[in-house]
Structure 1
């Protein structure tokens, strides 16, 4: 079996705030933006990986209580987000901090062999970014 990642979904509370973060702060390209009523599905991705997409959405297929539960989980930071990789972690981190991202962890060497940092998107999802050892200076 040979599987590759195609699409992942990130739950958000405010699609416009999320779009500003993923497009403007992270530099991802917008591939699609679909609205239906109060729900929205925005597909973004890295130009370097045209076959991999992230759908940021405020859609919850459930009751109003389900929407409230998801919003509460997001507010607590209990929903995992996305992990990215970069060749220059310090510059990427500085850019995100200057763009106003909530810093969870500044760049640090980890005992498992990577250097990484963590921020939260506007909905509270954790976004980790690592730099492989081959790119360390």
Structure 2
């Protein structure tokens, strides 16, 4: 069996701010931008990797969710503890400086971790944790 990660979904409560973060700060390309019933799904991904995408989706858009579940999602997003993603780069220092200069919310500056990784962390405009590992 040969599986790859094709798409992952992250909530985005302000599509324009999320687009600026993923496109402008991280350098991802926009692959799709779809509106439906007043909501917006934006698919972004790293240049040169068309098989891997992040779909920025309206939080709580699943019609099967109750109002209580939607409120819980909003509360977790406000705390920054609902969703996250780990990215990788060959030049962590340059990547950190670019994302920080774009005004991103810095959670952790580049640091050597005791478990063998060097990484940094940001929160995207929706509160999602974005960790970036040195490869």
TM-score normalized by the length of structure 1: 0.90
After TM superposition, list the pairs within 5 Å mapping 1:1-137 onto structure 2.
1-59=1-59, 60-61=61-62, 62-132=65-135
RMSD, matched Cα: 1.3
Unaligned runs of 5+ in 2: none
Please tell me whether the aligned partners of residues 106 and 117 of structure 1 are also in contact (alpha carbons under 8 angstroms).
yes
Taking the aligned partners of 2:98 and 2:10, their CA distance within structure 1 comes to: 22
Taking the aligned partners of 2:57 and 2:90, their CA distance within structure 1 comes to: 28
Question: 1:55 deviation in Å?
Answer: 0.1
Question: 1:110 deviation in Å?
Answer: 1.2
Change (3 A) 1:87 1:20: same
Please tell me whether the aligned partners of residues 13 and 71 of structure 1 are also in contact (alpha carbons under 8 angstroms).
no
Unaligned runs of 5+ in 1: 133-137
Give the paired residue count.
132
Question: 1:79 deviation in Å?
Answer: 1.6
TM-score normalized by the length of structure 2: 0.91
Question: 1:69 deviation in Å?
Answer: 2.0
Q: Once the two structures are superposed, what CA deviation does each residue of 1:66-117 show, in whole Å capped at 9, x if it has no partner?
A: 3322111101111231111111111111111111111110000112222100
Please tell me whether the aligned partners of residues 12 and 74 of structure 1 are also in contact (alpha carbons under 8 angstroms).
no
58-67 or 69-78, which deviates more: 58-67
Taking the aligned partners of 2:39 and 2:72, their CA distance within structure 1 comes to: 17
